[in-house]
Amino acid sequence: MVRFSEYMNGQKLLPIIQTGCPETGVAITQAMHAAGIDLVEVVLRHDSSIAVLEAIKSAMPNLKVGAGTIIDTPILKDALNAGADYIVTPAVTPKLLDALVQSGVPVLPGVSNTSDIALAYQAGFREMKLFPANLAGGINFLNGVKSVFRECQFCPTGGINGDNFTDFLALQNVFAVGGTWVVDQKQVESKNWQAITDACKVVL
pLDDT above 90 coverage of the chain, percent: 98
Q: State the pLDDT at residue 44.
A: 97
Q: Cβ(155)–Cβ(128) under 8 Å?
A: yes
H helix intervals, 18-111:
22-34, 49-59, 73-81, 94-101
pTM over 0.75: yes
Q: State the pLDDT at residue 77.
A: 97
Q: State the pLDDT at residue 1.
A: 75
CA dihedral 180, 182, 183, 185 (to 10 degrees): 90
Residue ranges, the chain, pLDDT below 50: none
- DSSP class of residue 124 equals T
Handedness of CA 44, 200, 176, 4 (dihedral sign): positive
For the segment 84-136, what is each residue's pLDDT rounded down to a tens digit?
999 999 999 999 999 999 999 999 999 999 999 999 999 999 999 999 999 99
Nearest to 34 by CA among 24, 22, 23, 26: 26
Task: Write out the catalytic residue numbers.
Answer: 41, 129
